[in-house]
A and B are shown apart, each in its own frame.
Chain A
């Protein structure tokens, strides 16, 4: 679905953000894009939607070059940015204005999603809270039936029940032809949803593994004392001890917290990459 080769990008006023980025994303998954502030997550998402243009290399999304912004490409892509604009019209009016641009838009599904989120079709969007606006856009984006849905920090501003509804809707809307890319810092909101995990650091993909591979090659334990072993890849102080990430040599699968995984990868890129290479998958 997405093929990026040797992509380079820089903002005019700063150094290169991406110098030679390669990435292949097949259809049928909810990709979790993680990274520190300024790692290039939002920039990458904007390059994928044609909002920014690469300085070099190839970016192919569903057979289209995003920067051309062909209508057929845009019909199949929907992005919800972290900061967005919603015109001051009612939800029904918004549907009337924008839905005709998406040939596969499903009005019935849209109303179902709005009901699920408890949003009123007649209410003016400007009177919605930030979280409600986000839920509205998510309902609209899913109802477009586009093949690529891109969400930048989707759970920011959502209340606790909405986060669970969000996960449920997204999981139920995924098909073999569709892909969702979620860029987030709120990794705990996304556990059990995003898979594979992509970690972007200093303009490079430093980690790209499915959760199955992660639990096959890494394991997480709780220890009472500070771990001293050189086998420890990363540890964090938690309530009542230490959460420790090590290479999985026993073959026993453990549940790895995404936040700890992220910190382990960022603090120990080389070793973790070697572990996955040794296991047959490039990290």
Chain B
């Protein structure tokens, strides 16, 4: 089997182009709605004299919440009774189908939001100058904070991508519930481990002064470093791999008709 059967850049480009062309109407409607809502927000802020704060909270909201919603709907065709046949039998590899969705919902979405938000703040700045005679600094996409936000988005987005491949309906809500369930289980497990190893401290059988606080602090640093590496380096590639496997194993919902 030639490598062309796993990956062909032309087919990936066709998939990306089809996705963009198929969804540009709904994207335009979403962008239009967002522009109206944000214009109202900035107008109210200006009138009430509270403008001038950071753009980061709004940018973060659009990037994360919007991105998670967008990502959660990225595999809707796969779970649709009639659309799934067209999606799965389109001549492209599972890897290309997966990469197409990944690029569009991760880097594609982040770049789109950066461009949109920059242009939007230019518009708001112009309108502010025109109607209120107050200059407003446009959003600068080249700030260190922005790149941290985008980095965090690219990692956390992978969770929602896995949710989109896995859950047939209401992927966004089910992913949120799954994350909550995971952290709840992790918390209970941590309590159990702490209780198991340090129960004597809780029951008063060991005097608190003997507790080696330095050792705990040292372990905490190692633990934080491990979590940091797991989050920034391991989490997203691992979840992408699982998502790809899930897509590869996907079948249509119902063979009977």
Give the interface of A toward B (CB within 8 A).
Answer: 11, 38, 42-43, 46-47, 49-53, 69-72, 74-75, 77-79, 81-85, 87, 89, 93, 97-98, 100-102, 152
Contacts and interface: CB of A to CB of B under 8 A. Distances in A.
A81 B93 CA distance: 21
B11 interface: yes
A82 B14 CA distance: 27
A83 B96 CA distance: 26
B236 interface: no
Interface in B111-135: none
B: contact size bracket: 20 to 34
Nearest to B251: A52
Nearest to A73: B91
B90 A74 contact: yes
B85 interface: yes
A85 B255 contact: no
A51 B83 CA distance: 12
Interface of B: 1, 4-5, 8, 11, 14, 18, 21-22, 80-86, 88-94, 96, 249, 251-252, 255-257
Given A51-B85, A71-B91, A87 B22 contact: yes
Contacts, number: 84
Nearest to A153: B257
Contacts of A102: 91
A122 B81 CA distance: 27
Nearest to A43: B255
A70 B256 contact: no
Contact of A70 (B5, B14, B82): B5
B161 to A, nearest CB: 20
24 contacts: A42-B257, A43-B256, A49-B89, A52-B252, A53-B251, A69-B94, A71-B5, A71-B8, A71-B92, A72-B5, A74-B89, A79-B85, A79-B89, A81-B82, A82-B257, A84-B86, A85-B85, A87-B22, A97-B18, A97-B21, A98-B18, A100-B14, A101-B90, A152-B257
Contacts of B96: 71
Contacts of B251: 51-53
B14 A101 contact: yes
Contacts of B90: 74, 98, 101
Nearest to A101: B91
- Kindly name the residue among B4, B11, B82 whose own CB sees the greatest number of chain A CB atoms within 10 A: B82
A85 B80 contact: yes
A75 B1 CA distance: 15
Nearest to A71: B91
A102 B91 CA distance: 7
B150 to A, nearest CB: 30
A50 B247 CA distance: 13
A70 B90 CA distance: 10
Contacts of A82: 257
B257 A81 contact: yes
Contacts of B5: 70-72
Contacts of A81: 82, 85, 257
Contacts of B4: 71
| Top-8 shortest CB links A-B | A74-B91, A85-B82, A43-B255, A75-B91, A51-B252, A101-B91, A85-B83, A71-B91
